[in-house]
Amino acid sequence: MAGSCPLAMLDRLQDGALLEVEAVLGGDAESLILHRRGDAVRAWLNVCPHAGRRLNWAPGQFLLSRDGLLVCAAHGASFELEQGSCVAGPCRGDALRAVPVEVHDGQVWLGGPAPGSEP
């Protein structure tokens, strides 16, 4: 496992929910968004590709549309939660930067090279 400590306990992340966690990627502290669907967890940098700001409206608080899209609190860009693609708003066609994570023994860990790092 790439991370030296778990990002979160799986039971802290309810099915369909979003959780903000901090992680060190490439030597820098970064805010990540974790999304759980069943036993699978996806992660993205908590940065909107439109304006480069965090997506949450308050620490750990994210907006979800009725359709289950993650909505940027600043300018309303909407992201689907399978691939992190922007499907509406000012950055339509862009995507959130994925961060590889793995689930082991009920914990979520960083799962590979950090975005932008050398292989």
Query: Residue 75 maps to which CATH number?
Result: 2.102.10.10
13, part of any domain: yes
1, part of any domain: no
94, part of any domain: yes
50, part of any domain: yes
Q: What is the mean pLDDT of residues 2-14?
A: 83
- Please check the confidence at residue 95 and state whether its pLDDT lies above 70: yes
Ranges of beta strands (E only) in the chain are: 8-9, 18-25, 28-37, 40-45, 63-64, 70-71, 78-79, 86-88, 101-104, 107-110
92, part of any domain: yes
39, part of any domain: yes
Q: Provide the β-strand partners of residue 95.
A: 85
Angle at alpha carbon of residue 102, lines to 98 and 58, rounded to 5°: 55
Structure tokens, 39: 């036993």
Q: What pTM, to 2 d.p., does this model score?
A: 0.88
Counted domains in the chain: 1
- Domain range for 18: 8-110
116, part of any domain: no
pLDDT in tens, 30-82: 999 999 999 899 999 999 999 899 999 999 999 999 999 999 999 999 999 99
